[in-house]
């Protein structure tokens, strides 16, 4: 194809992933149209490259609105008018799959950030399993963020293995770009462990609270910072660690401009998850060069390289979690080696330009397969 590929990317969530990917695709010479709901996207447009055509829909209905089916008909017409070579869906929600029957002639790629909803995650449960299955099986290609997730997706949705491809989860550079240093955490005389992000049962915070009790016996001045919205953190601390020493709790939504302050203050980031696909939190940690201690669930062992960029411990093993945190915190030389290995990952497989190049290879393969009918669009 002599002209640049034209990609329409529709995103209703995971904006911190979609923006740098769109920017990187545009740097590689593609025409990228990024379509987003204005009520969710907010002020993130300043981080979108001028080379990306950003279309923010002010009339995109909220999730519970009965106007959604009518808007999806309009959105499908808009997609057809863009005459894309590929439609890339970066999210699965209840309504977006309604456009798919109307854009049958366009090759569709879906990035499956989570193979299925997380236990206790009420937000992802809003998307019915039948809808998720329909979008996955209707898509021509599926992208996941790890080999274990690829096997899981193939088995769960009975997919042809040739349709499911692994592309790494790039580093969340958006948070470093947004952090201006104007907001800082209080100074602390001692090391800091960070637990960051939505606080939901599958994140395993109670396990970290129990591990923190053990950790204090070895490192009395350790501080545990917990930042994010969700479950009542103070109630969890009272239940699992009533002594509650050296905690800093910000149990609320953290603005993008403030996220960097938490990671700058951290010596290590803890992911005590009991279930996971991948982790955007680890991607933020790497953007700030911070090692990660995570459990061996989902694709985390492929993202956190044990002994290199952090430590991997068995899930639900409180003592192993505490021991791994202590080893990282008490060994400055090991932390330096981990930071160097993280920098190598950021410059290598987790670099957005490399991810974009390998994603373009998927687009091109898909277009070659659909070339005879590429512009035979119907309204």
Spatial contact of 367 and 6, defined as CB atoms under 8 Å apart: no
Distance CA 137, CA 251 (A): 38
Is the model's pLDDT at 140 over the cut of 80? yes
pLDDT at 42: 87
Average pLDDT estimate for 308-322:
98
Distance CA 6, CA 206 (A): 47
pLDDT at 243: 86
Q: Residue 375: is it exposed, middle or buried by C-beta count within 10 angstroms (0-12/13-18/19+)? A: exposed
Is the model's pLDDT at 124 over the cut of 80? no
pLDDT at 244: 84
pLDDT tens string 188-236: 999 999 999 999 999 999 999 999 999 999 999 999 999 999 999 999 9
pLDDT at 377: 39
From residue 378, give the alpha-carbon distance in Å to each of 79, 367, 375.
Answer: 11, 18, 9
pLDDT tens string 51-89: 999 999 999 999 889 999 999 999 999 999 999 999 999
pLDDT tens string 154-194: 999 999 999 999 999 999 999 999 998 889 999 999 999 99
Mean pLDDT of the chain: 92
Average pLDDT estimate for 230-251:
93
Point out which residues pair with 196 in neighbouring strands.
Answer: 227
Q: Could you identify the residue written with the tokens 């994010």?
A: 228
Point out which residues pair with 293 in neighbouring strands.
Answer: 270, 311
pLDDT tens string 86-117: 999 998 888 999 999 999 999 999 999 988 76
Distance CA 122, CA 149 (A): 21
Q: Give the H/E segment covering residue 159.
A: none
Of 128-137, 326-335, 353-362, the poorest mean pLDDT is in 128-137
**Percent of all residues in the chain with a pLDDT value above 90, rounded to a whole number:** 84
pLDDT at 180: 86
From residue 290, give the alpha-carbon distance in Å to each of 36, 192, 260, 275, 284.
Answer: 31, 11, 11, 22, 9
Distance CA 239, CA 205 (A): 12
Is the model's pLDDT at 137 over the cut of 70? yes
Distance CA 231, CA 209 (A): 14
pLDDT at 169: 93
| Domains of the chain with bracketed CATH | 6-170+351-373 (3.40.50.2000), 175-347 (3.40.50.2000)
Nearest-Å Rg of the Cα atoms of the chain is 21
Point out which residues pair with 227 in neighbouring strands.
Answer: 196, 250
pLDDT at 69: 95
Largest CA distance in the chain: 68
Residue 370 confidence class, pLDDT cut points 50, 70, 90: confident
pLDDT at 80: 98
pLDDT at 35: 98
Distance CA 42, CA 34 (A): 14
Of 126-130, 289-293, 357-361, the poorest mean pLDDT is in 126-130
Q: How many CA atoms lie within 13 A of 144 on its CB side?
A: 26
């Amino acid at each position: 194809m002599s002209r640049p590929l034209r990609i329409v990317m529709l995103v209703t969530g995971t904006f911190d992933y979609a923006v740098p990917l769109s920017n990187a695709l545009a740097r590689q010479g593609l025409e990228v149209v990024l379509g987003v709901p204005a009520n969710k996207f907010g002020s993130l447009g300043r981080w979108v490259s001028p080379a990306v055509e950003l279309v923010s829909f002010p009339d995109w209905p909220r999730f519970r609105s009965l106007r959604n089916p009518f808007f999806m008909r309009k959105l499908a017409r808009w997609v057809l008018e863009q005459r894309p070579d590929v439609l890339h869906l970066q999210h699965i929600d209840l309504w977006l799959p309604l456009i798919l029957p109307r854009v049958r002639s366009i090759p569709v790629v879906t990035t499956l950030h989570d193979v299925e909803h997380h236990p206790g995650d009420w937000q992802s449960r809003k998307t019915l399993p039948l809808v998720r299955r329909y979008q996955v099986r209707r898509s021509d290609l599926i992208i996941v963020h790890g080999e274990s997730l690829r096997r899981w997706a193939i088995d769960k949705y009975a997919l042809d293995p040739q349709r499911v491809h692994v592309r790494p989860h790039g580093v969340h550079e958006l948070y470093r770009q947004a952090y201006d240093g104007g907001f800082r955490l209080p100074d602390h005389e001692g090391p800091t462990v960070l637990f960051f992000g939505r606080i939901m049962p599958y994140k395993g915070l109670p396990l970290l609270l129990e591990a923190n009790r053990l950790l204090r016996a070895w490192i009395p001045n350790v501080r545990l910072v917990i930042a994010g919205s969700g479950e009542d953190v103070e109630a969890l601390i009272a239940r699992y660690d009533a002594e509650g020493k050296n905690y800093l709790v910000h149990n609320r939504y953290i603005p993008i401009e403030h996220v960097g302050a938490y990671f700058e203050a951290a010596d290590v980031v803890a992911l005590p998850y009991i279930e996971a696909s991948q982790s955007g939190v680890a991607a933020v940690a790497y953007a700030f060069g911070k090692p990660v201690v995570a459990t061996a669930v989902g694709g985390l062992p492929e993202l956190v390289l044990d002994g290199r960029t952090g430590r991997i411990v068995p899930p639900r093993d409180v003592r192993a979690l505490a021991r791994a945190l202590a080893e990282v915190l008490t060994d400055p030389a090991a932390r330096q080696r981990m930071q160097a290995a993280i920098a190598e990952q950021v410059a290598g497989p987790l670099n957005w330009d490399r991810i974009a190049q390998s994603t373009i290879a998927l687009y091109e393969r898909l277009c070659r397969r659909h070339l005879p009918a590429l512009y035979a669009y119907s309204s």
